Amino acid sequence: MNVSETSKFTINICIIAALGLALAIMANAPAAQAQTLAPQLQQPSLVETVEKGYLAHRRGDYDEAITIYTGIIRRRGLSVKERAVSYLLRGEAKRDKGDLEEAVYDFTRALNQWPDYPQAIFFRGQVLARLDRLHEAFADLSRAVELDPDRESYQTNLALLRKRMDSDGVAPNPKAGPVSITPPVE
């Protein structure tokens, strides 16, 4: 490395160190002081944002909850499981709003991130049953029970679906494979 490259390298290291120090200070500084340090770096924590979405959902403001969860999904740096949970939460808000097809797509997006996510499989199965897509619902609810056999609500919902299918004269296919749903591109 020549002198010019060494200088650039040293400057880059100093910038990175200064940024790290600023972030550490902001994490420990009072809110007003942190705003003056680097307002462009300010962003509510993931936990705070999820809580805000949860509260909007609980009070029945589904559009607000969907907007908040969409913002989380678009965040950079989320782990695969964090993104899957965010899709699940948005799917729940869409389900409760009555947008059942959209909810199925979000639960599927969650499963595209985390294929063995029992809660996403379970919720998707429940919504598929509400849409009278009974074979798909049966496959999902059976898979949820397989992944988490001790969860009583999974067992109960599968038993209720079996009863419904029996009364409707629909034979469940116990050998049905995983449900293949392709959500539209966001």
Please tell me the distance from the alpha carbon of residue 36 to that of residue 80, in angstroms, as a whole number.
33
| Beta carbons within 8 Å of 44's beta carbon, 6+ residues apart | 52
Mind listing the pLDDT tens digit for each residue in 66-118? 999 999 999 999 999 999 999 999 999 999 999 999 999 999 999 999 999 99
Q: Are 85 and 76 in contact (CB under 8 A)?
A: no
What pLDDT is attached to residue 25?
Answer: 30
Q: Do residues 64 and 135 both lie within one domain?
A: yes
Q: Which two tokens stand for residue 139?
A: 């496959």
* Residue 118 to residues 12, 62, 115, 125, 170, Cα–Cα distance (Å): 45, 23, 9, 10, 25
Mind listing the pLDDT tens digit for each residue in 115-133? 999 999 999 999 999 999 9
- Percent of the chain scoring above 70 in pLDDT: 77
Q: What CATH number has the domain bearing residue 146?
A: 1.25.40.10
Q: What 8-state DSSP symbol labels residue 76?
A: T
Lowest mean pLDDT across 12-26, 145-159, 169-183: 12-26
Place 41 in a pLDDT band, splitting at 50, 70 and 90: low
Is residue 180 a part of any domain in this protein? no
Q: Which residue has the higher pLDDT, 28 or 158?
A: 158
Q: Are 161 and 134 in contact (CB under 8 A)?
A: yes
Query: Domain of 14?
Result: 1-30
Q: Do residues 75 and 157 both lie within one domain?
A: yes
Q: Do residues 22 and 60 both lie within one domain?
A: no
What pLDDT is attached to residue 176?
Answer: 74
The number of distinct structural domains making up the chain is: 2
Is residue 118 a part of any domain in this protein? yes
Q: Which residue has the higher pLDDT, 80 or 179?
A: 80
- Torsion angle of alpha carbons 68, 179, 127, 162, nearest 10°? -150
Is residue 12 a part of any domain in this protein? yes
Is residue 181 a part of any domain in this protein? no
Residue 40's Cβ-count burial label (10 Å; 0-12, 13-18, 19+) is exposed
Q: Do residues 25 and 51 both lie within one domain?
A: no
Q: Which two tokens stand for residue 32?
A: 């007003």
Q: Do residues 4 and 60 both lie within one domain?
A: no
Q: Do residues 93 and 126 both lie within one domain?
A: yes
Specify the residue for token string 């969650």.
110
Q: Do residues 24 and 61 both lie within one domain?
A: no
pTM: 0.75
